[in-house]
Structure 1
C-alpha cells in the first residue's frame, strides 16, 4: 500500500474518486425521485441514511481512487523501466560510436593495421618503458620493391588488393611476437619490438617477414611475385625517439634497396648532429600543436594590369631554442616523419584566416598554398578544403593549390582523381616549378590546371642566357595555348619584370616586388602599393584592390 502512494496522489486517483462521487450522487437523486419526494438536501440525506445500498455505494469513491492509484503506479514503473532501458541503449550506442571513432583514428583504413600516427604513439610508450627498465626496442621498416609497377600496369585497385594481401601475410608472420605492426604509408610497413633480446632476434624477425612474401600473390588470373627491402634500427643505439628510430630504420631500408634488396641493420651509433635532427622531427609535431609556426606571405603581381593578384603562403618555424628556421631545415623532416598532412592543414587554416581578414579590409585577392604528394593521395582532402573554406567564409575561387610536376607524376591515377575533385569545387590548380620535372604534355593537357609557374632557375639568367630566354618564352606561349596563366617566380630586378611583361607573362613574384613577410607587414606593404599604384583620379575602391 505504501509503495503505490510513494510518488504522491496521482491525477488518475483523483479522476476515479470524482467519477465515483458523481455516480453515488446520481444514485441518491434517483432514489429520492423514485420515492416521489421533493429533491431537497434533507431528502437526499434521508435517502442515504435509510437505504443500505446507497450507504454501500458511499465506499465506491475510495475504492475507485485506490484502484486508479494502483494502475498509475504500475504505468509509472513501466515508463521508468522503459526510460532506463532507453538510457542504457543510448549510452551503449554512444560508447560504441566513441570506440569506432577511436578505432578509425588508430587504424589504416585499407589494411586494418595500425596507422602511422598510432604506431608512433605506441612506439613512444615503448621507448618510455625501455628507458625506465633499461631495455632495448627494435624497429623494422619494410618497403615493397617495384610496387609502383603494379599500380602502373594493373591499376590502383589491384595495388590495394596486393597491399591487403601483404598485410595479412605480415600479420601471420609476426603473430605472438609481442610486436606492433603498422602500415606507415604507401607500400611501407613498420614493426616495433618491445624488450628486444638481441639484434639477431631482430634479423630473424625481418627474415621471417621477407620469407612470407616469397609465395606468389594470386589475384584472379594474375600471379605477382613480391619482394621487399627491409631496414632495422635499435633503441638506444641508433636513435632516442620514435621519429628518429623509424627514420634510422627507413634509411637502412633505402640503403638495402639501393644495394639490390634484402635486409640491412643500422650498425653505427647515431652521430650527435643526426640525433639533433631526429629530435627536430619530434619537436615539429609539438610546434604544429602549440602554434610555434609562422606564416609568411609573398605578393603575386599581375604584371599586365599592374595590380596585386594575390599572395603565396610560405611557412616558417620560430623555434624556441634554435631561433628562426627556414622551410628547408624542417620540411624534409616533416615529410620523413609523416607530418606533412598536419603541416598542410595548419598552413591552409592560417592562409584562409589571413585571406578572410584581408577581404574585410577590402582586399579581394587570392592566396596560393603549396601541397605535398601525401595530401593529393588523401581521398578526404577535398572535403577538408570544403570545410575550411566554409569555416572562414572564403570563396573557393580565391584559393590556389600549388603542386609540383613530380608530385603530379608520382601516382597519376590517384592524383588526377583528387585534383579533379578540388578543381570542380572552383579552386585553382597551379603546376609549380614547371619545366624541372618529368611530366608528359598529354597528362598535363588533361589536368584541370589554371596556371603554370616557371621555375626561378630559368628566370634568374634569362637576360644573360639565350637558352633560358627561349625556355621562358616557350613556356609562356605553351601556357597560353593551353588556356593557362603563366607565372614567373624569382624576379629580383626591374629589367626582369619589364621583359616578362613584354613576353606576355601574366603574374610575377619575387624580391623585386616584395619579400615574404608576416601578415602585419603585408598589410603595410599593401597600403604602400595602393598609394603608389592607384591612379590619382580614382578614389579608393574595390577596383584598385586586386583581381578576385
Structure 2
C-alpha cells in the first residue's frame, strides 16, 4: 500500500468517526428533547396544586372515551362536582386554607373514583370525573362522593364544613360528545340551586329551566331601576296582650308581564348572581323612608329587615345602614336586622366584624329561622342578638307533632337562659297561638293576625288603632315627642 492510499484510508476513517460523533450527538439531543416534551406534556396535563387532570387533558380523555364507546357500544358517566360553599370558605379562611380544601377534595374524589376513574380540576371549587359504565355506576360513584365531601376538612386549628352538588350525565344517553360535559354541569347547577348536598341525573328539562333562569336573572337586574320592587309589612304581635309591637319588611317583585314573582324564586337567584347588593340597599333605603313617613304621622314602630349572607360579608354594611338611618332621622334601635341562623353561625372574620359593628351601632339584631342550624348557648352568647325567631316549620306542626313542640320549647328555654325574646313566625291557627303562649313565647307573627300589607295600609290601621283582625296597636308606638321628631327630620 503506497502512501497516498494510506492517507486516503486515514481520512475516510476520520470522516467516519466524525460522522458517528455527530450522529451520536443528534440522537442524544433528540432523546433529551423527547424526554423534555414528555415531561412538559405531563406537567401540562396535570394541575400543579391537586395533581388532577387539567381541563385540556380531560377533553382528550373524553375524546378517547367517546371513540371507545362508539366503537364497542359501551357507555361512560361524567360527573360535575361543586363544593357548595367554597366561596364562603375562601372569604372566611383565606387563600392558603381554601387551596388546602381543594387539595383534600381532589384526594377524596380520587379515592372514590378508584384507578379506573379520571379526575379533573375545574374552576371555583369545581371538579369533573369520568368513569366507564352507565347510570348505575355513575350514581353509585356520586353517592360515595356525597358522603366523602360531607366530612369536615381539618385545616390546622380550623375545621371547615361543606357539602357537594353532583350532576351526572351518561354518554350517549344524555347527549353527544360536545354536550355531555355541559349537561353534567347543568345537572349540578340545577341541584345546587335547590340547596345542594346531593346528586342528580341530567334531564333535558333542565336546559329549558336554565334558559328561563337566564331570562329571569336579566329581568331581575333591571327591576330596581324600573321601580318594580315594593315593600310589604307584616305586624308582630305581643303574645300576652295581642297588641301590635313591630313589623317585618318583606320584599315583593311585581313584574310587568309575569305579575307577582315569589321571593322564593327570585331571592336565591339574586344571591347566586351577585344581585343582593343593590337589592339589599334598596330594601334598607325604602324601609328607612317608610319609618320616616310613619314617624311624621306620629307612629314610632320598629321595623325588621332581612339581611342576607352576602350583605353580612360586606365591609361597609353597617356604615351604609347608619348613613341611611341618619338621613331619615330614624334611631338605630328602631331598626332590626334579621339574620338567619345559618348565616349567623358562619363564624368567619367578616361576619364577626359585622356583628361587632352592629352591636356598637345599637341595632336591634334578630336571629331568624332558628332551630334549623347548629347553634349552641356558647355561640349565641357571643352574638349581639336581642331575639330569636322560631322557624315556621316547627310552628306549622305544633298541634300534631311532639317533636315540634319539644324543639319550640327548647328554643324558648335557651332564649330565657340568654335573656333573649322569642318570636314565632308562621302562626296561622288559634291552636298554634295557644301552645306558643303557654310555652312563654314573647311575640307572634303570621296570617292568623295579618297578611303582609302595604306600608300605607299598616299606617292607616295604626291611626285607626286596629287592624282587620281587631288587633290593638301598643300605646308606646305613638310618638309623644312628635314635634321634636318631626323637627329633627327637617334639619
TM-score by length of 2: 0.57
The 3 A distance-change label for structure 1 pair 250 and 352 is farther
Distance in 1, Cα, partners of 2:367 & 2:300: 23
Q: How many residues align?
A: 336
| Distance in structure 1 (CA, Å) of the matches to 2:203 and 2:442 | 54
Provide the residue aligned with 1:426 in structure 2: 362
User: Is 1:503 the equivalent of 2:439?
Assistant: yes
Query: CA 1:259 to 1:333, structure 2 compared with 1: closer, same or farther past 3 Å?
Result: closer
Instruction: Say whether residues 1:313 and 2:246 are aligned partners.
Output: no
Residue in structure 2 matching 1:271, options 203, 207, 219: 207
Instruction: Extract unaligned runs of 5+ from structure 1.
Output: 1-140, 164-183, 190-227, 232-236, 239-243, 261-265
In the other structure, the counterpart of 2:307 is: 371
| Mapping 1:316-331, distance limit 5 Å | 316-331=252-267
For 1:524 and 1:423, how far apart are their aligned partners in 2?
A: 33
Q: Is the 8 A contact 2:190 2:206 kept in 1?
A: no
Asked whether the equivalents of residues 449 and 471 of structure 2 are also in contact (C-alpha less than 8 Å), the reply is no
Q: 1:288 to 1:379 in 2, by over 3 A?
A: same
CA distance, structure 1, for counterparts of residue 476 and residue 362 of structure 2: 31
In structure 2, stretches of 5+ residues that fail to align are 1-79, 102-122, 127-163, 168-177, 486-491
Residues 332/151 of structure 1: CA separation in 2 closer, same or farther (3 Å cut) = closer
Q: Report the Cα distance in structure 1 between the residues aligned to 2:417 and 2:381, rounded to whole angstroms.
A: 10
Please give the alpha-carbon distance, in whole angstroms, between the structure 2 residues aligned to 1:328 and 1:539. 34
The SS at the match of 1:324 is: strand
Q: How big is the shift at 1:147?
A: 5.6
Whole-Å separation in 2 of the counterparts to 1:415 and 1:395: 23
Q: Which has the higher contact order (CA 8 A, sep 6+)?
A: 2
Structure 1 residue 485 and structure 2 residue 421: aligned? yes
The answer on 1:394 being equivalent to 2:330 is yes
Alpha-carbon distance in structure 1 between the residues aligned to 2:404 and 2:89:
38
Pick the aligned partner of 2:393 from 430, 453, 457: 457
**How far 1:304 moved relative to its partner?**
2.9
Alignment check: 8 A CA contact 1:308 1:365 kept: no
* 2:232 counterpart of 1:293: no
The Cα offsets for residues 110-160 of structure 1, whole Å up to 9 and x where unpaired, read as: xxxxxxxxxxxxxxxxxxxxxxxxxxxxxxx997899689779x9548559
CA distance in 1, matches of 2:453, 2:471: 20
Helix, strand or coil at the partner of 1:356: helix
Question: 1:347 matched to which residue of 2?
Answer: 283
CA contact (8 A) 1:405 1:431 kept: yes
Once the two structures are superposed, what CA deviation does each residue of 1:341-398 show, in whole Å capped at 9, x if it has no partner? 1111111111111111111111111011111111111111111111111121110001
Name the SS of the counterpart of 1:423 in structure 2.
helix
**Once the 2 structures are TM-superposed, how far is the Cα of residue 248 of structure 1 from its aligned partner?**
5.8
Return the offset for 1:539: 13
Relative to structure 1, the CA distance from residue 151 to residue 283 in structure 2 (aligned partners, 3 Å threshold; closer, same or farther) is closer
Contact 1:461 1:468 in 2 (8 A): yes
8 Å CA contact retained: 1:454, 1:472: yes
Alpha carbons 1:397, 1:427 under 8 Å: kept: yes
Cα displacement (A) at 1:302: 1.9
Contact in 2 for aligned 1:371/1:402 (Cα 8 Å):
yes
Question: 1:335 and 1:524 mapped to 2: Cα distance?
Answer: 34
Contact 2:165 2:189 in 1 (8 A): no
**1:487 is paired with a residue of what secondary structure?**
strand
C-alpha distance in 2 between matches for 1:465 and 1:259: 27
Question: Helix, strand or coil for the counterpart of 1:330?
Answer: helix
Deviation, 1:525, is: 2.8
Q: CA deviation at 1:471?
A: 2.1
SS of residue in 1 equivalent to 2:219: helix
Deviations 1:392-417 (A, max 9, x none): 11100011111111112334332121
**RMSD of the TM alignment (CA)?**
4.7
